[in-house]
Structure 1
Amino acid sequence: MSKKVILMILDGWGITQDPKVSAIAQADTPFIDDLLKKYPHAKLYTSGENVGLPEGQMGNSEVGHMNLGAGRIVYQDLVKINKAIKDGSFFENQALKEAFEYAKENHKAVHLLGLLSNGGVHSHIDHLKALIDMAKKYNVPTYIHTFMDGRDVDPHSGVQFLKEIQEYIKDTPVKIASVIGRYYAMD
């Protein structure tokens, strides 16, 4: 006997405990309502530690896609890098050490390119701070080329992140070299 199964993914469709703040709960969705009444279904928790993110970190489609069908929690790069910074292994990463050593020995600069935010999807400001700490340790001229986020975080939050990094790089060999929006640099 063959049975048919549908894995239906509704990206962005969520179930909340407070229907007053949910557009989905307030919308007229007779087809979905009928499916939920007639067929077995399950609810998935899609944020924080349930999908391999830090507690309280909201999930996103990329994280969801990585966890679908895995049968286990897939720890995201954000968590792995945070842990490595905390336990010190980040600073022993061979590729990073070799890059800074090469720059120092050959009187070259290091250029860091990346998203500047605390969004946690593609980057986190704490990771940049760890790289700045390495630049200080090796005393290598380092230039940051920032991609401002505005997608995974508030679109107006970039100024605050720039101020935070400017304060962090005081009295270091690190400078901000360029600032661009992620739409042009990444998307």
Structure 2
Amino acid sequence: IMRASPKVATYDLAPEMSAYELRDALVPELQANSADFVVVNFANPDMVGHTGVFEAVIKAVETADACARDVVEAALGAGYACIVIADHGNAEYMRNEDGSPNTAHTTNLVPCILAADGYIGSLANGKLGDIAPTVLQLMGVPQPAEMTGQSLLRPTAS
């Protein structure tokens, strides 16, 4: 499911972007359990973060948070596992030391939230390269030797 971003000069003018439309199209598909694997990108915090407009970034983050909540609830209700992650920071650091807006990606650590029956937690210092092995483990697919990352999941105690 793809939803085009709004045609605006800069995304601070439409910080919701197309997140609600994407959510509204995706939730029924998740509830119907119609796919084996789903990747969702709510790009609002990243794209609006590049504008440096603080109030718009707040709206973008609130929108992404609300939509992600609805998608995760629908996914878990249908038996899917969920991994919520970002590949870089941006919206969490809005002002440079001189007071100017920061519009660049950051190298700050980002959270990785895992929600799946039978699994808890993550490695304290995981990396982006650990996500693919984690997905493979969740799907019951063996990890190829060429893949050097480590799964972030550990089974729950029975």
**TM-score of Structure 1 vs Structure 2, range by shorter chain:** 0.3 to 0.5
> TM-score by structure 2 length?
0.36
- State the structure with bigger RCO (CA 8 A, min sep 6), 1 or 2: 2
Larger relative helix fraction: 1
Q: Highest Rg: 1 or 2? A: 1
- More strand by percentage: 1
